[in-house]
Amino acid sequence: MKYFISFAAAMTLCLPAVCRAGNFQVQPGLWKIVVAFSMPAMPLHIPPQTVRKCITPAQAARGLQQMMHPQGSPGARQVCKLTSVTTHGQRVEFRGSCSMPQGNTGFNGYMNYDSPIHFHGQVSTSTDMAGHVLQMNEEMQGRRVAAVCPR
């Protein structure tokens, strides 16, 4: 269970890290991202996870296609790829998959960038582990909390 929460949090951090859709660009700095998880097949409550992510000016200057490369936690043995990324104004929709020793995962979702310092979104994942399918949904909110990242 802990593995899937770590995987989902890592995916969430990588996807909203930087987005430039048209002339809209996320601001660099320290971001606080809160992710709420639900698993339809499991009635247990998973507390929301809060993570902080530093977005450098160089990262913020890159375009969406170059920045949205999902990856897992450091040391994780997984290969992820995006199969589709589309932008509609300040909304980014995406689809992809990951291959891992534990099983293969498909994901899809969206991010709405309400402003250069706030976003909200949703990601749905489906993991096949030896014929058992585990579904997970994530609701997320992110906001820039500082213009400069701590050292």
Give pLDDT, residue 3. 47
Q: Given CA atoms 119, 83, 5, 36 in this order, what sign does their dihedral have?
A: positive
Q: How far apart are CA 143 and CA 86, in angstroms?
A: 22
Q: How far apart are CA 24 and CA 11, in angstroms?
A: 22
User: Which tokens belong to 56?
Assistant: 């450098």
Give the tens place of pLDDT for each residue, 35-91.
Answer: 999 988 777 788 999 999 888 888 877 744 444 444 444 555 667 888 888 888 888
For the chain, give every domain's residue range.
2-146
Say yes or no to pLDDT of 24 above 80.
Answer: no
User: Which tokens belong to 86?
Assistant: 């589309």
Mean pLDDT of 11-22: 47
Give the tens place of pLDDT for each residue, 107-116.
Answer: 999 988 888 8
Q: How far apart are CA 133 and CA 104, in angstroms?
A: 10
Say yes or no to pLDDT of 19 above 50.
Answer: no
